[in-house]
Amino acid sequence: MALQTAPDSVQCFHCGEDCGSGVIHAHAKEFCCSGCKMVYEILNETGLCDYYSISRNPGINRKELARPDKFAFLDDEKIMKQLVSFRDENQTHICFYFPQIHCSSCLWLLENLGRIDVHIISCKVNFERKEADIIFDHSKISLRKVAELVTSIGYEPYISFQNLNKPKTTISRAKIYKLGVAGFCFANIMLLSFPEYLGIDAKEAQLLFVFRSLSLLLSLPVFFYAASEFYLSAWKSLRHGFLNIDAPIVLSVLITFTRSLYEIVSGNGAGYLDSMSGIVFFMLVGRVLQDKTYAALNFERDYTSYFPVAVTRLVARKEEIVKLDDIKLNDTLLIHNQELIPADGILTSGTALIDYSFVNGESYPVKKEMGEIVYAGGKHLSSNIEILVIKEVAQSYLTKLWNRQELKEDKKNQQHSFVHLLSRYFTWIVLGIAVCAALYWYQFASAKVWDAVTSILIIACPCGLLLSNTFTNGNILRRLARNSFYLRNAQVIEDIAAVDYIVFDKTGTLTTGRFDNIEYEGMPLDAKMRSEISVLAKQSTHPLCQSIGKWTGSPNNFKIAAYKEVAGEGIEGIVDEDLISLGSGRYVAGKTGTEDVSAVYVSIEGNVMGRFIFKNQYRNRLPELINELKGNYGMAVLSGDNPGEKYALAKLIGNNAEILFNQGPKDKLDAIKKMQKEKYVVMMIGDGLNDAGALRQANVGISIVENNNNFTPASDAILNAAMLPKLSRFIQLCRFNKKIVVTAFIISALYNIIGLYFAVQGSLQPVIAAILMPCSSISILMITFGLSNIKAKTLGI
Amino acid sequence: MSAIILLLIASISVASLFLLGFIWCVKSGQYDDEESPPIRMLFDNKKPDER
């Protein structure tokens, strides 16, 4: 296939990333790293190169390889049993989650796993859930081998502690069945009612009886099965002493059914069974649309999904794999490079370089010496260390924060949608009309009381309100999802509309979390010096060194000698006979004291040349967003980082905004609480575990992801970082939601009034109900979809 | 008249067959994943030995 080659950038054949300076030429193709090349070789050997012809550069970048024995824990019988979904003498079924799945090539390759290893019997991908069900012959290949095989071709399964303990979620198909049944019965009852409406000959009484009985028979599944959804919800809310919108609807359905039953059995009329089943059907359609879930996203993630499933414990200097639960006090754990620290502990061997950005939002890794305490949640970035556990996993600082009682209470339990309130008013008005009509008829023609009252209750069902609500919500959720803004459920739309205070996290939310914005200060560097520095910097895996390596440009083929890395301090080496060191002020220039900016010093042959200053890289188009938000919302920034960016932030967000630095996870949570005490409705936007508490506490918590495969802490909504500038418009659309619902409801209420006109007279013909019901539903459909789509278009979403 | 009743029974039974078909589809998981089947059907089924 054709490669798109710009003059100075070469795309990796495998993953499509810019190869930069380290192009690897092999098999007449270009690769960005040996990992990508290796995957190509595996696929080439097994004749699976179609992978590359289905989508362009489909591969997953392999620059960061998994640790060789990362999946050793899968050999553990106990862990394996919890993971596999089925097992008999010959085969094992396992369901892996692959967050990397993104294109048709992925699907094709994974489903052809059997061609790489014949012992894999089959593999079936579920694209929506990003999962693959793999069936393999466990007498020939172990689960660990399977995991390593898929990892070797770039699909590293994500196995978390969370899915060990939780039972597998089964998809609820009940609603779909109900929808099908209701639709079937509705259509048939409607057909059977036509003769009645069109005026059937009185001589054909027997035929009429058949039609009516059949309608009654068909309405039974609707009444007892399809509508059970609404009975349950109404009953639940009544038990909590709350009248939700389903209660009057259930009342209306009950009355319609009993009256129709009475009419048909007594032979007085045909009843309103067609209207009843029609309403149930449309309401179910609305519910199904609104409850559309994003199977691949997880809004409930807690700390356990970040932690490894198992860790290496040292017992009498022997390594063994233990599950996270089984870690006890005073155990010695071996932590490998790139591994997360699972429990608070004391460093007993090695020098640790720990990236706490996840826990407290500090952008740069910190160094820990022997004897210092390391906290759970940090990611270890250098060679292996050993820690002595001083607190069990569940007692660690981070997990304790998560287990706080107030965060456990599910705020989603309180339903406070304005729709329920509106339906309550509506119900009282209807009941009032019913009482008036009853009194009137009692005086003049007491035989008509029953007729009038039941007709009023039948016609005045607030289903129009429910329909307009569910259809609008459903459509807006879909519109937002198309812009990579995924809401947990429909209630979040209303929560967003109520927000008047917006709080941002800094690292990873306002800034990109990359270190591309570098300024050099000091004596000028010539081209040779630059390449020398570049060669040296590229030796280290430290993120700052990596960016310096990129900034200083193309390395020559200089040989490097006497390379030395002092963890957390710096690196040095002799490049082309010049001794170069890069590192902290203390390491390179002998400076003491802490600095207010993040900087790396450089010296050549002992002469300090200058320093590289790292500035936070703010996301694109942020100022426009802030401008749009400024007048309407209070704003604040809660940063776990040092105040080095204070000036830049104040300039960006305005002087009135509250900007707090050095905020730990608990500080952030408390800050949100304080704002809520001041009667603000707070929206929190963050990305890391350190924001998790605040995200839960806030009225609306939005987590930011760089791409949709990333993991996010529990939240109400997930927003793709690239779409952050549109936030203000998203909020506007959510606010418009209420207007649409009310408009559609008023229109449907007009139909109700026409119906009421007949009902109070006690002369509601089934045919009138049968005309009004679909008219009202269809107008609601058109209004909700029309208005929300027009609004979304004008907003450019 | 009896013709109408006969037709009625026939039409409702045919409709019930479709309802059963629908329930069967849902049960077998056809609606669980709406994205992969349309992609999957576009792949050629080359056997490894053919290459």
SS (H, E, C) A438-500: HHHHHHHCHHHHHHHHHHHHHHCCCHHHHHHHHHHHHHHHHHHHHCCEEECCCHHHHHHHHCC
Measure the CA–CA gap between B15 and A185, rounded to whole angstroms. 10
For A170, nearest residue in chain B (alpha carbons): B32
The answer to whether B30 faces chain A, any CB pair under 8 Å, is: no
- Picking from B18, B4, B26, the residue whose alpha carbon sits closest to that of residue A185 is B18
Amino acid identity, position A78: K
Amino acid identity, position A460: A
Q: What is the DSSP letter of A739?
A: H
Asked if A504 and A685 touch (Cβ cutoff 8 Å), the reply is: yes
Measure the CA–CA gap between A657 and A671, rounded to whole angstroms. 14
- Chain B CB contacts of A111 below 8 Å: 40
List chain A residues with pLDDT less than 50: 1-7, 412-413
Residues whose CB is less than 8 angstroms from the CB of residue A36 and which lie 6 or more positions away in sequence, other chains included: A12, A13, A14, A15, A59, A61, A62
pLDDT at A596: 62
Residue A614's DSSP bridge partners are A518, A598
Q: Indicate the pTM of the whole model.
A: 0.80
Measure the CA–CA gap between A184 and A604, rounded to whole angstroms. 82
Asked if A629 and A728 touch (Cβ cutoff 8 Å), the reply is: yes
Does residue A331 sit in helix, strand or coil? coil
Q: For residue B1, give the nearest of A50, A125, A207 by CB distance.
A: A207
CB contact under 8 A, A184 and B27: no
Mean pLDDT of all residues in B30-48: 75
pLDDT at B1: 65
pLDDT at A6: 41
Asked if A525 and A604 touch (Cβ cutoff 8 Å), the reply is: no
pLDDT at A164: 62
Phi, psi of A645 (to 5 degrees): -100, 15
pLDDT at A728: 93
List residues in chain A touching B: CB distance below 8 A: 46-47, 50, 54, 104, 107-108, 111, 115, 125-129, 171, 173, 176-177, 180-181, 184, 187-188, 192, 204, 206-207, 210, 214
The Cα-based distances of B49 to A46, A47, B22, B45 in angstroms read 11, 10, 39, 12
Supply the DSSP string of A367-397, one letter for each residue.
Answer: EE-TT-EE-TTPEE-SS-EEEEESS-GGGSH
pLDDT at B49: 46
pLDDT at A126: 85
Does residue A26 sit in helix, strand or coil? strand
pLDDT at A182: 95
Give the CA diameter of chain B. 67
Residue A30's DSSP bridge partners are A25
Measure the CA–CA gap between A568 and A222, rounded to whole angstroms. 69
pLDDT at A27: 83
CB contact under 8 A, A47 and B27: no
CB contact under 8 A, A47 and B33: no
Q: Please state at what angle helix B2-27 crosses helix A174-198, rounded to 10 degrees.
A: 160
Asked if A388 and A341 touch (Cβ cutoff 8 Å), the reply is: no
The Cα-based distances of A411 to A415, A520, A666 in angstroms read 9, 49, 19
Measure the CA–CA gap between A703 and A692, rounded to whole angstroms. 9
- Chain B CB contacts of A210 below 8 Å: 5, 8
A521-529, Cβ contacts within 8 angstroms, sequence gap of 24 or more: A521/A610, A521/A611, A521/A612, A521/A613, A522/A602, A522/A608, A522/A609, A522/A610, A522/A611, A523/A609, A523/A610, A525/A552, A525/A609, A525/A610, A528/A576, A529/A604, A529/A609
Asked if A197 and A275 touch (Cβ cutoff 8 Å), the reply is: no
Measure the CA–CA gap between B8 and B13, rounded to whole angstroms. 8
Detail the DSSP E strand segments found in A115-169.
Answer: 120-126, 131-137
CA distance B4 to chain A (A): 9
Give the count of beta carbons closer than 10 Å to the beta carbon of residue A590: 9
- Chain A CB contacts of B51 below 8 Å: 47
pLDDT at A557: 67
Residues in chain B: 51
pLDDT at A204: 78
Q: What angle do CA A592, A597, A599 make, to 5 degrees?
A: 75
Q: Please state at what angle helix A246-266 crosses helix A205-221, rounded to 10 degrees.
A: 150
pLDDT at A188: 93
Secondary structure (H, E, C), chain B: CHHHHHHHHHHHHHHHHHHHHHHHHHHCCCCCCCCHHHHHCCCCCCCHHHC
pLDDT at A253: 93
Q: For residue B32, give the nearest of A46, A104, A171 by CB distance.
A: A171
Secondary structure (H, E, C), A523-548: CCCCHHHHHHHHHHHCCCCCHHHHHH
Measure the CA–CA gap between A706 and A712, rounded to whole angstroms. 10
* Residue environment code for A146-158, b if the CB has 16+ CB neighbours within 10 A, otherwise e: bbbbbbbbbbbbe
CA distance A261 to chain B (A): 21
CA distance A259 to chain B (A): 25
- Picking from A572, A596, A591, the residue whose alpha carbon sits closest to that of residue A583 is A572
- Residue A697 tokens, joined: 């506490």
The answer to whether B27 faces chain A, any CB pair under 8 Å, is: yes
- Residue A197 tokens, joined: 């409406």
Measure the CA–CA gap between A721 and A510, rounded to whole angstroms. 9
Measure the CA–CA gap between A602 and A604, rounded to whole angstroms. 7
Supply the DSSP string of A188-200, one letter for each residue.
Answer: HHHHHHHHHHH--
Q: Which of A125, A130, A200 to mutate to test the interface with B (most CBs of B within 10 A)?
A: A125
pLDDT at A226: 94
Asked if A544 and A571 touch (Cβ cutoff 8 Å), the reply is: no
Q: Please state at what angle helix A622-630 crosses helix A727-760, rounded to 10 degrees.
A: 50
